[in-house]
Structure 1
Amino acid sequence: MGYASVMPEQRYRVAAAPGDLRLVQELLNTSAKNGGRTPDLLDAALPAAEWLSAYGITGDSPGISDLRRLRDVVRRFLLGAGPEPGEVTAAAPLVLHPDGTVGVAGEPNDIGALAGRILLAIRDAQLAGTWRRLKLCRNPDCQVAFWDSSRNTSGVWHDVRTCGNVANLRKSRARRSASVIVDGS
C-alpha cells in the first residue's frame, strides 16, 4: 500500500474536514509526526509523487518545495503565528471568472493549481466561520490536523485516548508531586 492511498483519516484516525477544507487538512498531515516515526510525505520523491497523484499531479511537477513552504505557513498560522512580512506562501494562479467567482487558472494538474485550491479553501472557510474548527493537536510531538466537531469547538487533542491521556496523566502526576512538596512529606 502506497503513502497516497492512506488519507489522513486513516493515517491518524481523525475525522476528515468537510468540503475543500479536507485538502488543507490532508496537506497539513503530510508532515512528519512523533519525532519522525511517521515520515514526511513531501520530503522524499516516491511518497511525494504518490501523494500528489491522488490529486492528478505527476510526481515530477516542479514546486514541491513551494507546497512544503505553504504547508509550514498554514501550520504556523494555526499555531497562532502568521507568515513573516513579505513571505510568499505559494505561486497560486487565481482568476476572476465572468460570473464573478474566483477560481484557479492554468493547468488543473500542477502544484500551483493545488496551492490555489488550498488558499481558496482557507479563505472560504474563514468567510463561512468554519476555519476555527480545523486545529492542530496540542501535543507538541503530534500536531496532527483534525476537525473539531465538538459543539463549542473546545477540542484540543486529535485523539483523547492517545495524546489527551498522556498529557492529562503528566499534569496529574505534576500536581501530586507538587502537593507532596507543599505538604512537607
Structure 2
Amino acid sequence: MIFIELINSEHIHGPDHVDDHLDKAEWLYEALKAWGFEIRDIAPWVGPLRELRIVLRAAVAELMEFGQLNEANISQLNSFLGPITYRYRVDLDAEGKTALRGTFEDQSPTHVIALGFCRYLENEDMKRLKLCENTRCREAFIDPTRNKSKKWCASNACGNLTKVRAFRARKAVQVKNEKS
C-alpha cells in the first residue's frame, strides 16, 4: 500500500539518526514511478509528501491509541484530498456493451496517497494498521494476526531488540538493588 511505503520512507535508527528517503532524488523518482506517476521535476513534491507523511504517521498513532481519528487528523487529511476533478465518459467495452468509465484529472501524488489511506480506513479493520512499538523504528505495518496482537514490524528484528533492551534494563535494576 502506497501510504505505508510513504510512512516508511523515513527510517528512524535512533534519537540522532534518521534516514529520510524523500531527500534522495533517485529514490523519490523511482517511488513516484512505481506509484504510477511520471513526474520529471520531483523537487516540488518533497515538501508536500513530507507533510503528508507526518499527517499519516500521526493518524496511525491516533488510531492505535484511541481507535479513531480526531478532528485535527480529519482536517489535515481533508486538506490533501481536494479539490480534484473526476471526469466520466461513455465507452464500449470488449464485448461491445456501453460502459461508463471515470478518471481523475489533476491527480497529485499527495491526493492519491491520502485517498488510499482514507479508503483503507473506510473498508478495512483500522485496528490492523499499526506503528512498530520499537521506539527506534516506528515503521507502519498491517497486523495479519487473528487477534491483532502483533507489536513489531518484524519480530525477529524489532521484537528481539525490544525484548533484549527490556531484559537488560531489568538486569541493571536487579544489579543496582543487590548492591544497595
Match of 1:4 in 2: none
Contact 1:23–1:118 (8 Å) recurs in 2: yes
1:17-166 alignment, distance < 5 Å? 22-35=1-14, 39-54=19-34, 55-61=36-42, 62-80=44-62, 83=72, 87=76, 89-90=79-80, 92-95=82-85, 105-108=104-107, 112=108, 114-166=109-161
- Mind listing any 5+ residue stretches in structure 2 that lack a counterpart? 64-69, 89-101
Aligned length: 156
Aligned CA RMSD, in angstroms, stands at: 3.1
Distance 2:152 2:146 in 1: 15
Q: Which has the larger radius of gyration?
A: 2
Distance 2:3 2:73 in 1: 20
Amino acid in structure 2 at the alignment position of 1:32: H
Cα displacement (A) at 1:133:
1.5
Distance 1:166 1:67 in 2: 30
Between structures 1 and 2, the one with greater strand share? 2
CA separation of 1:59/1:72 partners in 2, compared to 1, >3 Å: closer, same or farther? Answer: farther
TM-score, normalised by the number of residues in structure 1:
0.67
Contact 1:52–1:59 (8 Å) recurs in 2: no
SS state of the match for residue 42, structure 1?
Answer: helix
1:65-91 deviation digits (Å, cap 9, x = unpaired): 111101111011212286579657536
Cα displacement (A) at 1:104:
7.0
Distance 1:60 1:175 in 2: 52
Amino acid in structure 2 at the alignment position of 1:106: E
Amino acid in structure 2 at the alignment position of 1:59: R
Distance 1:31 1:49 in 2: 16
